[in-house]
């Protein structure tokens, strides 16, 4: 997820193409018609005809023997247009969508399964593939993933006498924040805005407590809200987090005043320009070790077509977009982690700083996973509302999460 919208999840969407697992020998054996035009819709309107992304689409079309007609839409618009097009019998041949949307489209009958089109996803990390699964079936191939971790400012930590390697659980992180504030620095900034962005940033702490989205008001879930609330009360985090997006949170960190910032892979280029030495560590779970963070990223899917003869060429296009060579090329330059271990290893070999992000992605979770599917948004909204209420001081954490659980249970019945 990126700032601005999954909302991408949005501004500055990065792309990366995964190592799919389809090879030329696995491609459905059917001839392509050179005169045919195949449509591809994606959520990357910022990339024009001169971009590497569009050139890749065109190259894959040429390889399949067809012309590609590509349209880029804003993420939120793309979902609505895909649903409407399916109702009118005008779906694109290939659809690239944000991972939480896959279950919505699948349950609406918009997408074919990977089994139907012989798309091999066996090498894809199961935790990443889970976001594209519903009812025991898989509805697309992930092209890459991003997630969250903690950036740190080495100068601020050095002044406070904090070794970032010791920040491995909640107690150690809170102790580090106390030292930083006592030394005159600022603690941690994050996004707790009342949108999906806020839920996205809260989930590592929620899941890291051991909580489950089906029981928001468990002691573990309440502990996660209490952690954030206590940080605000003690001055370890600014009150601005209540309205912060991931972009504005990063801007606070970029001032050089904060020890830590929770943010994503997509900020790596900005971190290099920050003007101070930085590092990245996993978000710690309550009792130690990396916390599961939510995955951002897109899936490449093949929508249902009345003319089933088109599927063979669509499969060729998806196989091309998700092969290992294309995955490494795009992930290297566009800030995604590949969804297969083989390409992840190549990424780390090329840039050791990606190692922490690869480890974070390995323990990440899809928001619609655990068979939540389309129930997730109905849980996420009351959850971010509860976090807002607790951080603002209007409602104690336990009461806020109890109310959220009541609303979520009613919405998902």
171-221: pLDDT as tens digits: 999 999 999 999 999 999 999 999 999 999 999 999 999 999 999 999 999
Spatial strand order in the sheet of 37-42: 67-72, 37-42, 94-98, 298-301, 141-142
Question: What values do phi and psi take at 94, rounded to 5?
Answer: -130, 135
User: pLDDT-derived band of residue 9, with 50, 70 and 90 as boundaries?
Assistant: very low
Task: Say which DSSP state 289 is in.
Answer: S
Q: For strand 258-264 and strand 141-142, is the pairing parallel, antiparallel, or unpaired?
A: unpaired
CATH match of 148-281 with 3.40.190.10 = yes
Answer whether CATH 3.40.190.10 is correct for domain 24-146+296-362. Answer: yes
Segment 99-121 shows an average pLDDT of 95
Predicted confidence (pLDDT) per residue in 136-177, tens digit = 999 999 998 999 999 999 999 999 999 999 999 999 999 999
Over residues 371-394, mean pLDDT: 96
Q: What is the pLDDT of residue 65?
A: 95
Q: In terms of DSSP bridges, do strands 37-42 and 94-98 run parallel, antiparallel, or are they unpaired?
A: parallel
Which residues 6+ apart lie within 8 Å of 102 measured at CB?
Answer: 111, 131, 132, 134, 139, 140, 299, 301, 368
Q: Rounded to an integer, what distance in angstroms lies between the CA atom of residue 142 and that of residue 132?
A: 8
Percent of the chain exceeding pLDDT 70 equals 90
Share of the chain above pLDDT 90, in %: 82
- The whole-number average pLDDT for the span 301-328 is 93
Tokens for 146, please give them.
């991003």
Reference 141, options 101, 106, 103, 99; nearest CA is 99
Where are the domains positioned within the chain?
24-146+296-362, 148-281
pTM: 0.86
pLDDT of 27 > 80? The answer is no
Q: Output the pLDDT for position 334.
A: 61
Q: Are 213 and 228 in contact (CB under 8 A)?
A: no
Q: Answer whether residue 358 shows pLDDT above 80.
A: yes
The H or E element containing residue 113 is none
pLDDT of 75: 85
Q: What is the mean pLDDT of residues 89-117?
A: 95
Say whether 15 sits in a helix, a strand or coil.
coil
pLDDT of residue 345: 95
Give the span between the Cα atoms of 221 and 398, in whole angstroms: 9
* Residue 330 confidence (pLDDT): 67
What does the alpha-carbon distance between residue 221 and residue 94 come to, in Å, rounded to a whole number? Answer: 39
The stretch 22-39 carries a mean pLDDT of: 51
Sign of the C-alpha dihedral, residues 26, 29, 91, 330?
positive
Q: How far apart are the first and last CA of the chain?
A: 27
- Angle (CA) 121 122 125, round 5°: 85
Q: What is the mean pLDDT of the chain?
A: 90
Backbone angles phi and psi of 294, in degrees to 5:
-75, 150
User: Residue 332: which pLDDT band, with cuts at 50, 70 and 90?
Assistant: low
Give φ, ψ of 77 to 5 degrees: -65, -35
Distance between CA atoms of 147 and 133, rounded to whole angstroms? 19
Mean pLDDT of 78-105: 95
Domains 24-146+296-362 and 148-281 share a fold: yes
């Amino acid at each position: 997820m990126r700032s601005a919208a999954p909302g991408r999840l949005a501004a500055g969407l990065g792309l990366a193409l995964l190592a799919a697992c389809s090879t030329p020998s696995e491609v459905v054996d059917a001839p392509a018609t050179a005169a045919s035009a195949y449509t591809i819709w994606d959520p990357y309107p910022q990339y024009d005809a001169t971009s590497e992304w569009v050139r890749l689409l065109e190259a894959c079309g040429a390889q399949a023997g067809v012309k590609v007609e590509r349209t880029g839409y804003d993420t939120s618009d793309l979902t609505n247009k895909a649903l409407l097009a399916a109702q009118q019998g005008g779906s694109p041949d290939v659809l690239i969508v944000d991972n939480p949307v896959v279950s919505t489209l699948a349950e609406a009958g918009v997408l074919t399964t990977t089994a139907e089109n012989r798309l091999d996803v066996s090498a894809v990390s199961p935790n990443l593939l889970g976001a594209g699964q519903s009812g025991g079936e898989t509805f697309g191939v992930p092209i890459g993933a991003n997630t969250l971790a903690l950036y740190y400012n080495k100068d601020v930590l050095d002044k406070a006498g904090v070794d970032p390697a010791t920040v491995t659980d909640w107690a150690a992180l809170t102790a580090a924040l106390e030292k930083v504030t006592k030394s005159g620095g600022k603690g941690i900034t994050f996004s707790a805005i009342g949108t999906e962005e806020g839920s996205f940033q809260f989930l590592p702490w929620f899941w890291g407590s051991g909580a489950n989205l089906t029981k928001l008001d468990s002691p573990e879930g309440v502990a996660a809200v209490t952690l954030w609330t206590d940080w605000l009360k003690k001055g370890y985090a600014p009150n601005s987090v209540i309205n912060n997006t991931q972009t504005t949170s990063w801007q606070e960190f970029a001032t050089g005043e904060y020890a830590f910032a929770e943010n994503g892979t997509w900020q790596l280029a900005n971190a290099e320009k920050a003007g101070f030495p930085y590092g990245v560590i996993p978000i710690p779970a309550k009792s130690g070790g990396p916390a599961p963070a939510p995955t951002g990223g897109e899936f490449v899917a093949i929508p249902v077509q009345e003319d089933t003869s088109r599927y063979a060429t669509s499969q060729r296009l998806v196989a091309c977009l998700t092969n290992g060579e294309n995955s490494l090329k795009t992930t290297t330059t566009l800030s995604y982690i590949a969804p297969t271990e083989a390409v992840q290893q190549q990424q780390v070999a090329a840039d050791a700083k990606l190692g922490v992000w690869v480890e974070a992605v390995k323990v990440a979770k899809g928001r619609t996973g655990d068979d939540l599917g389309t129930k997730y948004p109905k849980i996420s909204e009351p959850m971010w509302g509860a976090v807002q209420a607790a951080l603002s001081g209007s409602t104690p954490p336990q009461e806020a999460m109890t109310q959220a659980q009541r609303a979520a249970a009613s919405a998902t019945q």
